[in-house]
Amino acid sequence: MKRVEYVDATSGHYIAGWSTLETVAGKGHSLYSGTVPLSTSKVNGRFVLKDPARGGSTTVDLFNKNGGKGQVFKDGDNTWGNGRASNRQTAAVDAAFGAAKTWDYYKNTFGRAGIRGNGKGAKSRVHFSKNFDNAFWDDGCFCMTYGDGGRFFKPLVALDVAGHEMSHGVTSNTAGLLYFGEPGGLNEATSDIFGTMVEFSAHDKQDPGDYWIGENVAKKATLGTPFLRRMDHPSLDTYKGQGSYDCWTPTMGADDPHFTSGVGNHFFYLLAEGTGPKTIGGRAHNGKSCNSTTFAGIGRDTAAAIWYRALTTYMTSTSGYIDARDATIRAAKDVAPTDCAAVEQTWDAVSVPAGLSSCAGGVLDEGDSVLGANPGFESGATGWSKNSTVKITKDQSYGIPHDGKWFALLNGQGQANTALLTRTQQVTVPDTDTATLRFSLLVFSRENPALEHDTFDVMVNGTPIGASGHWSNMYSNVTYRRWSVPMSAFKGQTVTIGFRGVENANRRYTGFLLDDVSLTPR
């Protein structure tokens, strides 16, 4: 496809671009949205599903193969599909319409030109495999892929599914939320949030906006519910025999991101719509808080603006729900300061505890750390001493960092061992009643989470400091959490700071990933 594009010669940032192909107004008969307009191209006297108005987005037929580039849909009269799944063009109509509406939502709402923000459209691939009960986004081919459905679903080309999956691409090109632990749940929630917003923005009379996910593609008889997920009451979905989480729990990150996404979905629904019964898009909704509070919402457009700002500015690849709380508070201060208190109230309503940010006090100023150089292991083992059961590494076969590239792994061997990691130089604890040791810790384990087997302790002068500095396999969440340990008992003293991990001999491993250690006046 021929294009004209302008970029900033200094920064390389995209400024503007357009296709030199002729844009033609077509018409499509879709499965789920009735008769819809399509932006197509005319090539050699025939029409093709290539949208010059939206970065050259294309729609291709995979002919029920398990991959490949596919063939761009072509047509003689620029009227596509017949509204029935038996016509191969029909699913393509929904896919092209979904791609257009997703592009339009991000462009018109946030000024984002395409998934990468560079003005280039993506490819939509329909008729993937046989009886394929899924749809997915793939960064590798920069393409959106739809199955024709099978036991649980009809063809998965509905508008909210399209917006959901392509929003995975937006997340990948912004915060980059990893797909496990709580970051994975936030990744899925982000896609549900913006897939829902795409559906609302389309103003489609046959598929009006609501907070049910996949309601047009679900086969209730086999799936068990008339939706895949519900943002107002996440636990009502029972796909795979389990409901999503309504409320945050300290160890839920070890579960499937499709279930842990429920907390983010519930937060967004309550922030936008508030508590109590409502009919939205002709469907019943009823948001209930986890702490029995009742309140009004701030509106979905404002809620979406806050989430987008948080995603693109403040969240990182390892953000968990407490980090998301911080990020959305900071984002609310940027885009909707009068609604900041509502953001805090709503996180309370889904049981996510406070982090370092608040509407009243801003981001906590901890003061300068006295710990010395290399508290986040970015210079390897410099400043630290360790025994053989500690790895200070950037090799992600052992785990991931919270920030930067390097981290420390204690234990994770599935056999009896003790890991010792200490600062090489002694430090003087700030002489304040609020002196605090902070660090980021990720716990992963195969132990029974109901019983303590493997332990992790903060050490001062070679001795565990007690309950405030004690963790175990029972904290397994596959997610970094920032912990604060009071150090006032040692204020003004010169001490040796360290960490100890102990695994038992039962062959079920527990690993403790440590990063970003600080010792500050508050």
Domains 188-363 and 384-520 share a fold: no
- Give me the count of residues in the chain: 522
pLDDT of residue 361: 87
Cα–Cα dist 479/33, whole Å? 39
DSSP codes of every residue in 2-35: -EEEEE-TTT--EEEEEE-SPEEEEEEE-SSS-E
pLDDT of residue 1: 40
pLDDT of residue 22: 67
Per-residue pLDDT tens over the stretch 217-241: 999 999 999 999 999 999 999 876 7
Which CATH number applies to 188-363: 1.10.390.10, 3.40.50.300, 3.40.50.10490, 3.40.50.1820? 1.10.390.10
pLDDT of residue 17: 53
Average pLDDT, the chain: 95
Q: Does domain 3-157 have CATH number 3.10.170.10?
A: yes
Q: What is the CATH number of domain 384-520?
A: 2.60.120.200
pLDDT of residue 23: 74
The parts of the chain modelled with pLDDT lower than 50 are 1-2, 18-19
Per-residue pLDDT tens over the stretch 354-373: 999 999 988 888 999 999 99
Give the strands of the sheet with 79-80, arranged side by side: 74-75, 46-48, 35-43, 23-29, 79-80
Cα–Cα dist 369/389, whole Å? 27
* Tokens 């010169």, located at residue: 494
Give me the residue spans of the domains in the chain. 3-157, 188-363, 384-520
Show the 3-state SS of 479-516.
CCEEEEEECHHHCCCEECEEEEEEECCCCCCEEEEEEE
* 374 closest CA partner among 420, 410, 408: 408
* Contact criterion met (CB below 8 Å) for 453 and 474: no
pLDDT of residue 229: 96
What are the catalytic residues?
Answer: 165, 258
Predicted TM-score (pTM) of the model is 0.94
